[in-house]
Structure 1
Amino acid sequence: MIKYGLHGKLTATPGNGDKLAQILLEAAKLVATAQGCHLYLVSQDQNNNDAVWVTEVWDSKEDHDNSLNVAGVKELISQAMPLLNGRPEKGQELRVLGGLGV
């Protein structure tokens, strides 16, 4: 039951963390119906409101990659990019072995 996981931090420009988080929450609604999506969790750092974490679990990396083609996702990416403080860092790829809710 090995799944593909991705965990990454996106940092917004000062004062834009809430806007970035809202865009990512909209993305979560869109990809919730994508093939292979088990989890798309958006979290905000308690010590830095401009740091937003995204944790994803998919059946495969291919399913994750295909989620970028879900209607509306590319538009949300284009809204989020100007809010970022620099280029997004590559997320940490994980081999999800199991657990509650997976």
Structure 2
Amino acid sequence: MPHKVVFGQQALNKLKNINVYLVERSPNGAQNVPRDIERAAELLGHFPMMGAQIELTSARFHITRKYKYRIVYRVSGERVEILNVYHPSQSR
């Protein structure tokens, strides 16, 4: 049974900002990047320990396959909480 994936408020705000940025610069990206992030989040629900551990924290991170966005998340029981989403070229 997959873990429940929940996006925290900071991650939701970042996703909104990413979308605003992409709509202005790349209509295709505005459609494809959220899909890539959504697929990665779904995958984390099935394989929550697949991401790398972030030193000295309980958080982990996973890199989306196509667009290389970083998803920072924490596993708690049967839940995966997405804490942050960013691209390495952006400020966090």
TM range (shorter): 0.3 to 0.5
TM superposition score normalised by structure 1: 0.33
Higher relative contact order (CA 8 A, sep 6+): 1
TM superposition score normalised by structure 2: 0.35
